[in-house]
Amino acid sequence: MATRKKPGSDKRSSVNLDGISLEMGIKPPQAIDVEEAVLGALLVEPEVVSSALDDIDANCFYKEANRKVFEAISALASEHSPIDIYTVSQQLQKNGTFEEVGGAYFLTQLSLKIGAAAHIEQHCRILRQKYVQRTLITNSYAVLKDAFDDSVNVDALLDKAQEAIFSIVESNIKNDVRPIHSIINDAIEDISKNQERGNGLSGLPSGMEGLDRKTLGWQPSDLIIVAARPSMGKTAFVLNIARNMTVDYNIPVAFFTLEMPSIQLVKRLMISETGLSSDKIKGGVPLESYEWVQLNERIKGLAKAPLYIDESSALSVGEFRTKARRMVQKYGVKMIIIDYLQLMTGPQELRGMREQEVAAISRALKATAKELNVPIIALSQLNRSVVTRTGSNSRPQLSDLRESGSIEQDADIVMFVHRYDYGVTPDDPNDIGRTDIIIAKHRNGETCDVPMRFRSSEMRFVDDISQSAFLSKENNYTVSHVNSKMNEDGLSYGDMPASDEF
């Protein structure tokens, strides 16, 4: 019989399952009889080989000899060779493991232990479950050993622990290869759901009609980059989005604020929500008694909103992924916002190599969006060179993204906030508050400018209804529809103040 060597573990594993078993005095999870039944079925029922190879691999076999036999069967199947006792014997001899597994006698005994071929799927499921249990033991033990090391980086250890668990989850997912007809069925179901919504969106609404018409809503697993020059209003822009999603649509949103304390963030929301001046909300200007009533009344909806704010500074990628997973699981978060990307810290080994570090952060954000199946909006800085440009050349470009070209590569959407009155007094009064949300990259749609207005006194971006052609002609979206949408002050957007009042 074969000498057991790292049974049931990946060849890359540095933890010996037998050693753990001896230490605990308990045998590792196993099902030798089921292993033999599966191998027997594969030897005498060739038609079940294909489905079995889809469900399990060699690591699912605890007994070393059984694993070697399965490896031989897999090798034959990959070469489209017939599979029976004789061909498997030849393959084992070719591999140099024929005598090691027990020779012809062992193979003959396996062929006699065949279970019903109809049960092969259930038997394979049992083997995979046992393998998952063994892998949990070895991975957990590896983390346990590292935890005793005082020199270990705790953040890195936490990330390693999560990766160890999630890698098992991923490996336990059945084959992702699907015939097109099943995918078409899913696509039709998705189209039907979108039709039932009746808002023309396939993703989550931002609450900004012009923007939603171009993006069709925020799509699951998308990484959206929002960039602008300092003080252009990018934080106000994403705060407006967070407010609209949580207050108007009751969609849970997580907001990671790395630069601004959470209380300052909430005060900004209160200014937008109440219409009271920033001097009274953020400063020390006294509120009148009726304004206190106005304040308490108008923040009721905000207080109930499913908005979850994390104010960790110098947030590492590992910490972010941990917190994001927890928020999705605990609060059902559907959207994540980060303010801002360059304040995050990447892997420790890349510290000091800023471009590579930012690239690693960008990749991690995209991977997290895909893993959690939620859109992530990350704010980003621009290079200083954009500040030196003037006139029409002052519009930001993809090449202006700061510190890494990987941001553009990883992002599904890149948007720039560009205000016409930024740093200057416009000659044209209509340019006061005038803003373009420049969609410079859109992996699944068109690039364009979305006209908006910035109400600086309220820290609010609203659709620019003066650009009626954009809303009606390009989007089959009429101005009357926009005018019918009431804002929080009880005024329609059509009644908003003239541009010189912004």
Q: Which pair of structure tokens corresponds to residue 395?
A: 């519009």
pLDDT digits (tens, 9 = 90+) for 65-86: 999 999 999 888 888 888 888 9
**Overall residue count recorded for the chain in this entry:** 502
pLDDT at 486 over 70: no
User: How high is the pLDDT of residue 22?
Assistant: 60
Cβ atoms of 343 and 379 closer than 8 Å: no
pLDDT at 387: 65
CB 440 within 8 A of CB 407: no
- Facing residues of 441 across strands? 414
Quickly count: other Cβ atoms within 10 Å of residue 408's Cβ. 17
CB 502 within 8 A of CB 452: no
- Which H or E run includes 255? strand 253-257
Indicate the average pLDDT of the chain: 78
Q: What is the pTM of this model?
A: 0.62
Residues designated as active site? 259
Whether 362 and 407 have beta carbons less than 8 Å apart is answered as yes
The two tokens of residue 314 are: 């110098």
pLDDT for 180 equals: 84
Q: Which residue has the higher pLDDT, 495 or 297?
A: 297
Calpha distance 383→492 (Å, rounded): 38
The token pair at 494 is 């059509």
| pLDDT, mean of residues 31-43 | 88
Question: 152 or 133: whose pLDDT is higher?
Answer: 133
Q: Output the pLDDT for position 164.
A: 72
Looking at residue 46, its pLDDT comes to 75
Binned at pLDDT 50, 70 and 90, residue 476 comes out as: very low
The DSSP result for 260-318, as a single string, is S-HHHHHHHHHHHHH---HHHHTS-PPPPHHHHHHHHHHTHHHHHS-EEEE--SS-BHH
d(CA 138, CA 146) in angstroms, rounded, equals: 13
Domains of the chain: 17-171 (1.10.860.10), 204-501 (3.40.50.300)
Nearest alpha carbon to residue 228 among 220, 237, 219: 237
Q: What is the 3-state secondary structure (H, E, C) of 343-396?
A: HCECCHHHCCCHHHHHHHHHHHHHHHHHHHCCCEEEEECECCHHHHCCHHHHCC
Per-residue model confidence as pLDDT tens digits over 386-413: 666 665 567 888 888 766 678 888 889 9
Q: Rounded to an integer, what distance in angstroms lies between the CA atom of residue 176 and that of residue 308?
A: 34
